[in-house]
A and B are shown apart, each in its own frame.
Chain A
Amino acid sequence: MSQLPDRTSDLSRRSLLRGTAAAGLLATPAVALLSACAGSSSGDDKADTGAKTNDNPLGVADTGKVDVVVFNGGLGDAYAKFDVTVFNKKHAQVTVNLSSTQKIKTEQQPKFSTTPADLINNAGADIMALDTLVNEGALTELTPLLDAPSWDDPSKKVRDTLLPGTVSDGTFDGKVFVLNYAYTVFGMWYNQALFDKNGWTAPTSFDEFFTLAPKIKAAGTAPFAFAGKYPYYMRWAIMSWIWMAGGKQTVVDIDNLKPGCWKTPEVLAALEATEKLVKDGYTLAGSATLSHTESQQAWLDGKAALLPCGTWLENEMRPTIPSGFQMKLANFWSVSANDKAKGAVYAGSGENWIVPKKAANAAAGMEFLRAMLSVEGAGKFAELTSSLSSRAGSGDKVTNSTALVSAGEVMKAASGDLISFKHPDWYADIDKAEQNAIGELMAGRMTAAKFADTLQTATDKVAKDSAIKKFTRDA
């Protein structure tokens, strides 16, 4: 049973550090010991490389082996097993040693500087800190892979088959070291069966919601449920609304701690719409106190019509989804007709795959990734995990999950830049103030104006504090 929520995608630097802190402390002495022997291994037993052809753009040797490690967690390892067959279609003579584990760091870190695997799915609680790996120069740059022709269509580069944001999510100081294979889309979930039965359509704007909500309420269902105990669930919706209302620059300003960033009319419009949703009594009674799973179950039980969450929802709740339930995702509602970023979607990639610098057969490691990013491989991933792959169109052939199909549709309809926000990962004080304020706003104890004041004060305080390291973004 998971008490604290986690999300598979969008691993923030801070949560990553937190997760590895304890393990890191324990591992340090071991690393010191290892570095002694690491230095002594001078033999460079790199595998032979083959000729680079159009069908073998990375120059994988005809024979030999490639070691691949998959994290056997929430997404399982069945998809990687399938990818072995895809890989062997083009490289029949290369042996793939696929191992699956949950202890990525425990097993991989000790041999990382000597004989690491060729491709590693760095994920889970026992994850290796990415920034450390990058800073230590322990990873192979994946640019050759991104610039290689894609598995199925030689006229298209791998880079161009990826969903937006995937390349930049894996880029550190201008270099691509990580490929995030899974893709999460956020939005409003609803049960198509329930909506059909009552003749409702999923709202696309706050106006539509406020028209529909009284009807939903009259039918004995709460229009809206949310995870009040963990206010950051609601933050995904609120920040998306702010982005839609004010456009990308509004959120960039908030992330950059610009004076007055929370006091613009657009931010206020988004906050006031949220306040009205609460004040008009359209939230599930008691929702402000519920945990993520409690609110999600209440929604599955038909006590509420709409729920904000990400695409891991179906996998997370699978054991308790009632039969006949048609889980579907719609984009977050537009705030008003004056929105500056209409149709923007909040989505991002996660679940990283890396090729170690010392990999004996780095070319084959990357080639395996190329196979994973094939139409067949990515399609199987989507089918097996009900999650989108960061390969565009992975969900196209999947018909057994209405959730996945609808998420694919949301992505296709997305316009402009993808929504993203950084301030909670950059500044713990603002994160805390924001979560507290969202909690109060959603419980009906705080107005939109007071919310903006509170966040502006918290932002200004951090901006003035010279002890806090500042970050900036321009895109």
Chain B
Amino acid sequence: MRHGKARFVASFLVLPVGLYVFYVLWPYAQDIAYSLTNWGGYSDTQEFVGLDNYVRLFKDELIRKAFWHSVFFLVTVPVFTIALALLFAFLLNVGGRGSRAGVRGVWGSNVYKVVFFFPQVLSLVLVAIMWQAIYRGDEQGLLNGVLIKIGLVDADKPLQFVADPTPFLGVPTVLWWLLLIAVWGGTGFYMVLFSAAMQSIPKDIFEAATLDGATRVSTFFRVTLPLLRDSVSVAWVYLGFIALDMYALVYVMTPSQGGPDHASEVFASVINFTAFNKGQFGYACAIAVALGIFTLLLAAVQLRVTRRERIEY
């Protein structure tokens, strides 16, 4: 019977595994193979160049720029998104303190849940197009229009938003404006994730804390956060991936896709330019492999750092 069972299981797995190997693993393998060549992308000939592409990668100024921009997003996107999502989830689930007994969210929390989650149902490109109207750099832009009307911005010098490469706190301003969109778009989903996790925490724990006279702030830091460690850790890894991408926003919103003057270049925009504009597929594949390795290392480190003993409840 064991043999028959294995066959039964295999018959279910063969199609999905086959598809996965063909459409996911095989392209990975191809990518690695191409990264060792000088393939241009349009011919069927290529030369093997060994690790030349990888050596070149470390000397490439554009890659270095993209790397630091990615580091910026890697730090800021998870920090701001998780902080906001936790705050909202806490307020919506246990933050309410009425005259009545029991643990509940702030007034109107069901409405807030829908409102905060809303960006999640929009496609990223749609989000980018919508924010283009908000960030538009002349008086017809939503923000500029309002700010000019109330006199906070000079009509001759409207805010340039995603076309502004000048540094703010040492980082090109355009990146801060893109960060705002990423955080706005991501918070809702993680708020729901944390809400679900919070709801699985027994209410008695919160009630006990309340009886002991814990304030909202200390309840949050001493009870809620430690019990949510697993969820936060997973969110951190996911948001790391999102931060490493950012490509859709950069591609749709910034001048010359990564500009102005390379101020918003990320790995994906460099790969796109190298492969499709410069016609250096081999080198672009090497950048992609490097990004892949970087992502895996990052995930491993994050999971390692946040791993702790699980608290059973």
Task: Decide: A285 and B256 in contact? CB cutoff 8 A.
Answer: no
Residue pairs across A and B with Cβ atoms less than 8 A apart, 21 shown, are A14-B279, A17-B279, A230-B255, A284-B138, A285-B139, A285-B156, A285-B158, A286-B137, A286-B158, A287-B137, A289-B136, A289-B163, A290-B136, A294-B140, A298-B138, A298-B140, A428-B277, A429-B278, A431-B277, A435-B256, A440-B260
Task: Decide: B163 and A228 in contact? CB cutoff 8 A.
Answer: yes
Task: Decide: B276 and A289 in contact? CB cutoff 8 A.
Answer: no
Per-residue A-contact encoding for B123-164, CB less than 8 Å = 1, 0 else? 000000100100011111100100000000001111011110
The distance in angstroms between the C-alpha atoms of A230 and B253, with both chains bound, is: 11
Task: Decide: A17 and B42 in contact? CB cutoff 8 A.
Answer: yes
CB-defined contacts of B41 to chain A, threshold 8 Å = 21
CB-defined contacts of B54 to chain A, threshold 8 Å = none
From A231, A281, A286, B160 is in contact (CB under 8 Å) with A286
Interface residues of B (CB under 8 A from A): 38, 41-42, 129, 132, 136-141, 144, 155-158, 160-163, 165-166, 252, 255-256, 259-262, 273, 276-279
CB-defined contacts of A437 to chain B, threshold 8 Å = 261
The distance in angstroms between the C-alpha atoms of A229 and B264, with both chains bound, is: 13
Task: Decide: A428 and B129 in contact? CB cutoff 8 A.
Answer: no
Give the nearest-CB partner of B137 in chain A.
A289
The distance in angstroms between the C-alpha atoms of A290 and B140, with both chains bound, is: 11
Task: Decide: B278 and A428 in contact? CB cutoff 8 A.
Answer: yes
Q: A21-B42, A290-B136 are in contact. Are A230 and B256 (CB under 8 A)?
A: yes
CB-defined contacts of B156 to chain A, threshold 8 Å = 281, 285
The distance in angstroms between the C-alpha atoms of A228 and B255, with both chains bound, is: 7
A18 CB–B CB distance under 8 Å? yes
Q: How large is the interface on A (under 10, 10 to 19, 20 to 34, 35 or more residues)?
A: 20 to 34
Task: Decide: B273 and A288 in contact? CB cutoff 8 A.
Answer: no
Task: Decide: A436 and B260 in contact? CB cutoff 8 A.
Answer: yes
CB-defined contacts of A228 to chain B, threshold 8 Å = 137, 163, 255
Nearest CB in chain B: distance from A312 CB, A: 21
The distance in angstroms between the C-alpha atoms of A428 and B132, with both chains bound, is: 27
The distance in angstroms between the C-alpha atoms of A60 and B90, with both chains bound, is: 83
Q: A229-B163, A432-B273, A436-B261 are in contact. Are A289 and B278 (CB under 8 A)?
A: no
A443 CB–B CB distance under 8 Å? yes
A3 CB–B CB distance under 8 Å? yes
Q: A436-B261, A439-B255 are in contact. Are A290 and B42 (CB under 8 A)?
A: no
From B155, B252, B262, A285 is in contact (CB under 8 Å) with B155
Q: A231-B255, A286-B144, A436-B259 are in contact. Are A443 and B136 (CB under 8 A)?
A: no
Task: Decide: A231 and B278 in contact? CB cutoff 8 A.
Answer: no
Give the nearest-CB partner of B256 in chain A.
A435
A sample of 19 more A-B contacts (CB under 8 A), given A230-B256, A439-B163, is A228-B163, A229-B255, A281-B156, A284-B138, A285-B138, A285-B156, A285-B158, A288-B137, A288-B160, A288-B163, A289-B136, A289-B161, A294-B136, A428-B273, A431-B277, A432-B273, A439-B260, A440-B260, A467-B38
Task: Decide: B278 and A439 in contact? CB cutoff 8 A.
Answer: no
CB-defined contacts of A281 to chain B, threshold 8 Å = 156
